[in-house]
Amino acid sequence: MQHPEVESLDRDGILKVQREGLAGLGARLAQCDAWKAHFAEAGMKPEDLASEDGLANAPFMDKSLLRDRYPFPFLTVPMEKVERFVATSGTTGLPVTFGMTKNDLHGLLPYQMARLLTAAGVRSGFRAYQGYGYGLWIGGPALDAGFSAVGCTNFPIGPGRGELAARWLRDHAYDVASMSPLWLMTLVQAAKHQGIDPRTEWTLKVAILGGQSVSAEFRAQLEAELPQGFMSHNIYGTTEAGGPILAISTPYTHADDELQLLNEDTVIVEILDPKTMKPVSDGEVGEIVVTTLRKEASPVVRWRTRDLVRLSPRPYDCPSGRRGMRKIGRIIGRTDDMIKFKGVIVFPSQIEDVIAGIPGLAKEAWQIYVDKEATTIGKMTVAVESVSAEQRPGEVCAADVRREIKARLGINVNVECHAEGALPRYEAKATRVLHRSEAAH
């Protein structure tokens, strides 16, 4: 454990830290007119967060609320106290900016990231290939902060330059890599095309994979391509929460395809039924809602991430000794990625599970095309790629996908099987659902 004095607390101990954090947060927000007005709309004051039911009655936040306050929504400190801005990707509309004070960037973020990386098996002295993007995106800076705090030697390569990166993975002897899981699979293929065998010529011990969740089947296939003992870990977070700081899988949760919420002393995570907005029970699916307790410049209170997750049936029994921080399953999907097709709810992750289990297909390259808005789909097409080296006819692969989707989801969809290399590869977050008009541009 990076911080055993916190990580070994039981649930009551974590809740006590959270209550103290809420009282401090409420006092800070009470100094800001925008926050006072936001709480007033719900008949509350920010200081009410200190009461026992304060958070449960606090108003929710989402991107529309922040976009209405463009360009610097709910900034809680003077601009001269902001050292850096980060922003959401903007894939669902105008990007939203979030400020970071010196302490947010150099104090809180390293504290949070070091805990997650250490729990995943990253150690001092590791050579790190940092493959997340930079600019306004928080991914790259967050991993930089975490690797530095743990004591790694960092190579901040960022995304892209696949052929060179595949060689550097051999020549630089990286121990850990942080990137999109799809990009790591792409690098595996790039290495093979250059005559490099990742299983024997790379030295990766662990990968920190984010941007999108991947199935256990995909993860197992990826691990089979890499050195013996290599383990991949999903990491999860959002820009609004402060970065990829919420949860990560560990050697103790890997076999169960679960992650652990490891920063619940600095971020409150509610898992709520998206219809009733009440807490779900163990083993049930809900939406992740976050409240940041220690962010100074741009805190959020009850931020609706739209990410859906299943709370572990046994959230507090981790053999690591982390007794107060809950376990969750991998991210199932987003409420706004959900497709209702002929009365059936479909998530892209379910389609990925099918593709990952069918031989002869590129696991990192697939798309879903729809012909209408996601709530009234009249036609859905799944596009896949055949891998030439495996010599399975495309029509056979397409038939397999069609059959498995019908068997698992009970729906008939169109399936297109393209030649290898025809579909886009994503260096960061993959956009899996496209309208045909969007896909054509």
Looking at residue 441, what is its pLDDT? Answer: 42
Q: Does a structural domain hold residue 7?
A: no
pLDDT per residue of the chain (441 residues) written in tens, 0 to 9: 899 999 999 999 999 999 999 999 999 999 999 999 999 999 999 999 999 999 999 999 998 898 888 899 999 999 999 999 999 876 556 788 999 999 999 999 999 999 999 999 999 999 999 999 899 999 999 999 999 999 999 999 998 889 999 999 999 999 999 998 889 999 999 999 999 999 999 999 999 998 777 778 888 889 999 999 999 999 999 999 999 999 999 999 999 999 999 999 999 999 999 889 999 999 999 999 999 999 999 999 999 998 999 999 999 999 999 999 999 998 887 766 677 777 777 878 788 888 888 888 988 788 988 875 544 456 889 999 998 888 889 899 999 999 999 888 888 899 999 998 888 877 656 778 887 654 444
Note whether 367 and 323 are same-domain residues: no
Cα torsion angle, 129, 133, 138, 141, sign: positive
**Token pair for 8:** 């070994």
- 139, 157 Cβ separation under 8 angstroms: no
DSSP lists the bridge partners of residue 303 as 61, 290
How far apart CA 311 and CA 285 sit, in angstroms, is 6
DSSP string, 117-172: HHHHT--TT-EEEE-S--TT-SHHHHHHHHHHHHT-EEE---S--HHHHHHHIIII
Please tell me the predicted confidence (pLDDT) of residue 427: 65
Buried/exposed 291-317: b ≥16 CB within 10 Å, e otherwise: bbbbbbbbbbbbbbbbbbbbbbeebee
**Helix, strand, or coil (residue 191):** helix
Same domain for 244 and 376: no
Among the candidates 315, 334, 353, a domain finishes at: 334
Do 294 and 368 share a domain, yes or no? no
Which pLDDT tens digit goes with each residue over 73-128?
999 999 999 999 999 876 556 788 999 999 999 999 999 999 999 999 999 999 99
The last residue of a domain, from among 334, 353, 370: 334
* Per-residue confidence (pLDDT) for residue 93, from 0 to 100: 61
Q: How far apart are CA 317 and CA 327, in angstroms?
A: 9
Does residue 180 share a domain with residue 149? yes
Question: For 162, what's the count of Cα atoms within 13 Å in the CB-facing half-sphere?
Answer: 18
Q: Which domain holds residue 414?
A: 339-436
Residues 128 and 173 in one domain: yes
Split into its structural domains, the chain has a count of 2
- Nearest-Å Rg of the Cα atoms of the chain is 22
Does 109 map to a domain? yes
In a domain, 67, yes or no: no
CATH of the domain at 429: 3.30.300.30
Residue of 156, 108, 149, 38 whose CA lies nearest to 295: 108
Q: Give yes or no: residues 312 and 368 share one domain.
A: no
Do 326 and 382 fall within a single domain? no
Do residues 232 and 360 share a domain? Answer: no
Same domain, 329 and 345: no
Query: What does the pLDDT read at residue 11?
Result: 96
Q: Return the exposure string of 177-186: e unless at least 16 CB atoms fall within 10 Å of the residue's CB, then b.
A: bbbbbbbbbb
Which CATH number does the domain housing residue 124 bear? Answer: 3.40.50.12780
In a domain, 168, yes or no: yes
Domain identity same for 393 and 312: no
Last residue of a domain, one of 334, 359, 380: 334
Tell me, yes or no, whether 300 and 429 share the same domain. Answer: no
Cα gap 197→300, rounded to integer Å: 46
Are the CB atoms for 330 and 257 separated by under 8 Å? yes
**What's the pLDDT score for residue 349?**
75
**In which residue are the tokens 């991210």 written?**
331
pLDDT in tens, 217-235: 888 889 999 999 999 999 9
pTM: 0.81
Residue 441 lies inside a defined structural domain of this protein: no
3-state secondary structure 289-352: EEEECCCCCCCCCCEEEEEEEEECCCCCCCCCCCCCCCEEECCCEECCCCEEECCEEECHHHHH
- Residue tagged 């496209």 (tokens): 434
- Report the run of H or E that residue 233 belongs to, with start and end: strand 231-238
352 and 296 in a common domain: no
154, part of any domain:
yes
Q: For 106, which DSSP code?
A: I
